[in-house]
Structure 1
Amino acid sequence: MHQWATLQTELLWVYDGTIEHLANRSKNDHQNAYWVWLVRKGFARVSSKDTELIAQPNQWLLTPNRVNFQEFGSGTRILSVHFRAQWPSGENLFEEKDGLVIDAGECPVLERCAVSMQKAAARHFSHYHSTARAQIIYQNVSYEGFWLLQRHFLRWMTAFTDVLLAKGYSFAETGAYDPRLLKAVRSLHEAPLNKSLPETQVQQLTGLSRARLDYLFVHHFGISMREYWNRLRLQSAKHCLADTQLIIKEISYRLGFKQPSYFTRWFQSQAKCSPREYRNEFSSRA
């Protein structure tokens, strides 16, 4: 039970619609989340390195967790579920494989869960449109709507996990973590990203000094607590740049930067490219 309680999951969007023209052919960073598509009309193709996956109507496509080139036929319509499932180390739920194409008839529960989740989002999110990408995490919702969507997402996660295990996937190794480290990780994940590193709060919560916290982070994850915090912020920044239409100024404010120029310099130091360059290269519509 303790192992599974450390898993960080988050629904990013769910929609059912026709692919926008600009997304017909693009390069996308799929390293830190899952993209799962059910092709309803047309085709979807994903390629990376020596791997190419093509899904036809009534087939699911799970993209590999790496930088991919994706292409959709003209007028292609998909049911798309985009979500994050990561261990405290930052590893994805499953060990990396070359993606998967599977007939929808083999796993009808996946479509049922995804459709129910999409309908729940349509009912409870005021700015949701079923044929456009629904940026779930940036919308206001009542507590009833939140718990309803979480229930549908849990059913989706259960079905998704069962299908991948049946197809030979394995969970990424998680190892045993110091409970105080897990408290620190949970605190960082729950802290607002537009504030500075909550160092004092984490120290009070865990009863550990900054030096001891850094030792635990480096020992288990290979990076310091501040580097872990920056990784969370960078992950959020990349998601906003690639998967939303928020302007760079708004993204910088959401991450606590007083000036967009400060955000640009920070992003450049972390990602080795500017925010605009990242958006131009990896902007997604699926």
Structure 2
Amino acid sequence: MLYRDWLNLNTHLLWCHDYAVDSEQTGKITRSTEYSNSAAWLVKSGWVKVEQENGEIFQASPGQWLIVKPGKRVQSFSPDTRMLSIAFLARWPDGNDLFDQGLSIVLDADKVPALERKAKPMLRIMKKINPETWDARESRAGLKEFFKLQSILSEWLMTLVDTLQNAGIEHRCNMDIDERVMQAVRLMQSHDIGEFLDLDALAQSVGTSQTHLRRLFQRDLQLTPREYFENIRIEFACTSLKQAKKRINGVANEMGFTYLSHFSKWFKKHKGVTPRAYRG
């Protein structure tokens, strides 16, 4: 791959916490939930267990990492669970994650000490900018903190790449995405989530027509521009609903819905459950 191809990879940290699992999260959870992010858990005490959509079950005990596959899963924790939890996105524009093939996997921490060692600087920065957040994107951070966090995340991801390759798991590559598609993707990612997206203006901004941009998107990402932006909105809604401090009607207003009922109908159309049921 060319260097410019790697520039299409979207990576950022969602959270990095060392914490005791809340009592409400312990025990057997029977409802399968969609988790769009990648995750790595280092168990300090107790145990964690994940059942994937295909029925495979993975359990980690103290001194073990559980690198979790993004997607639908049932996860459960013992009452005495304490763990280092890292959640991140490493995703290509077509929606495929850098790490998904061959996961989930359990690894002995003493065989990959660098994975924990290189996570500690991330932990320190997260404690500084917002110790309570479960989405670092909602935290206030200066330019230097941003660059430092991205640099540390990159170091940790390089260690994860080596760790997974040693376990026979390769990362996913993504090539040959038209530059006009990538420009449009970047514009959509920075677009106000609650504002209407003018596709004609978007196409003009990247130097093509709406019809041709649609063809390029369908060829490179297997989605139309409208569908791609809708996926961005869905992910925003899901992430926001998982934040206990955010009220459901507040999320609806932030996304441009005047009425909560309209937001609920839109969300259920895409996720199959109401916002309240999704929040759990």
2:79 alignment partner, SS class: coil
Identical-pair percentage? 27
Contact 2:15–2:126 (8 Å) recurs in 1: no
- Could you say which residue in structure 1 is the equivalent of 2:51? 47
- Could you say which residue in structure 2 is the equivalent of 1:80? 85
1:94 alignment partner, SS class: coil
Counterpart CA distance in 1 for 2:256 and 2:162 is 39
CA apart distance, 1:200: 4.5
CA apart distance, 1:28: 5.2
Q: What does the per-residue CA deviation read over 1:193-237, in whole Å, with 9 as the maximum and x for residues that have no partner?
A: 122215354223311111111111112222210110000110111
CA apart distance, 1:64: 2.4
Which contiguous aligned blocks of 4+ residues in structure 1 show a shift greater than 6 angstroms? none
Counterpart CA distance in 2 for 1:172 and 1:237 is 26
> Structure 1 residues 30, 274: CA separation in 2 closer, same or farther (over 3 Å shift)?
closer
1:39 alignment partner, SS class: strand
CA apart distance, 1:250: 1.5
Number of residue pairs matched by the alignment: 275
1:183 alignment partner, SS class: helix
Counterpart CA distance in 2 for 1:89 and 1:61 is 26
Alignment of 1:196-207 (within 5 A): 196-207=196-207
- Could you say which residue in structure 2 is the equivalent of 1:258? 258
Contact 2:14–2:87 (8 Å) recurs in 1: yes
Contact 2:200–2:209 (8 Å) recurs in 1: no
- Could you say which residue in structure 2 is the equivalent of 1:8? 10
Q: Over the residues paired in the alignment, what is the CA RMSD in angstroms? A: 1.9
> Structure 1 residues 50, 266: CA separation in 2 closer, same or farther (over 3 Å shift)?
closer
Q: Please, what TM-score do these two structures have when normalized by structure 2? A: 0.91
2:211 corresponds to which letter in structure 1?
A
- Could you say which residue in structure 1 is the equivalent of 2:214? 214
Counterpart CA distance in 1 for 2:157 and 2:144 is 20
Contact 1:35–1:80 (8 Å) recurs in 2: yes
CA apart distance, 1:264: 1.4
2:278 corresponds to which letter in structure 1?
Y
- Could you say which residue in structure 2 is the equivalent of 1:128? 131
CA apart distance, 1:145: 2.1
CA apart distance, 1:12: 1.0
Counterpart CA distance in 2 for 1:243 and 1:163 is 31
Contact 2:194–2:254 (8 Å) recurs in 1: yes
Counterpart CA distance in 2 for 1:194 and 1:5 is 27
Q: Please, what TM-score do these two structures have when normalized by structure 1? A: 0.89
1:88 alignment partner, SS class: coil
Alignment of 1:110-259 (within 5 A): 110-123=115-128, 125=129, 127-129=130-132, 134-259=134-259
> Structure 1 residues 31, 122: CA separation in 2 closer, same or farther (over 3 Å shift)?
closer
CA apart distance, 1:258: 2.7
The one of the two structures with greater contact order (alpha-carbon pairs below 8 A, sep at least 6) is 1
> Structure 1 residues 268, 211: CA separation in 2 closer, same or farther (over 3 Å shift)?
same
Gaps of 5+ in 2: none
1:57 to 45, 50, 62: 62
Counterpart CA distance in 2 for 1:151 and 1:98 is 25
Q: What does the per-residue CA deviation read over 1:75-101, in whole Å, with 9 as the maximum and x for residues that have no partner?
A: 210000011111010111134334010
- Could you say which residue in structure 1 is the equivalent of 2:112? 107
Deviates further, 97-106 or 75-84: 97-106
Counterpart CA distance in 2 for 1:97 and 1:240 is 29
